[in-house]
Amino acid sequence: MYTSLAPIIGWTVLVAILVVAFLKGGLAERFGALLVLISAAVAMAIHVLAPRDLQPTLLLMDEAFLALGFLLLALRYTSVWLGGAMILQAVQFSLHAYYLVGELPRNRTYAIINNVDTIGVLACILVGTLLAWRKRTRAAK
């Protein structure tokens, strides 16, 4: 399916971080990881199944779903990592909206911003997971 090693590494990192979040994170981290997993699966399905002309709109809706999910999580569980993930998701949503409204073709700049932003969201989830894990470990002692 992939012609490059980069997407395989990206998916491996994504799955590894989400597994750590599910195993060691708190409830907020697990919900955040679940949201990212659903959004990633939907994005992959959009790329594979949707007609090319509908993909930008559907991807924007997927980003809106993830942004709304992070907003609801932030309202329920106040934590710094959720704030960071929400801001980064807003950047991601804005990127998709900018390219959709401007009817611009997705180029290298789009790909770089998209990938760096996704890494940032995953880093927020990982940091939140490590902090929740540390907090539970200290409380157990």
Question: In this predicted model, what pLDDT tens digit does every residue of 19-78 receive, in sequence order?
Answer: 999 999 889 999 999 999 999 999 999 999 999 889 989 999 999 999 999 989 988 988
* Number of residues in the chain: 141
Would residue 9 count as lying in a domain? no
Would residue 112 count as lying in a domain? yes
Would you say 63 and 96 are in contact if contact means Cβ atoms under 8 Å apart? yes
Residues near 27 by beta carbon (within 8 Å), at least 6 away in sequence: 77
Would residue 140 count as lying in a domain? no
What does the pLDDT read at residue 1? 57
Domain around 108: 14-134
**Domain count within the chain:** 1
Would residue 70 count as lying in a domain? yes
Would residue 34 count as lying in a domain? yes
Rg (CA), the chain: 16
Would residue 6 count as lying in a domain? no
- Kindly report the pTM of this predicted structure: 0.87
* Mean confidence (pLDDT) of the chain: 90
Would residue 3 count as lying in a domain? no
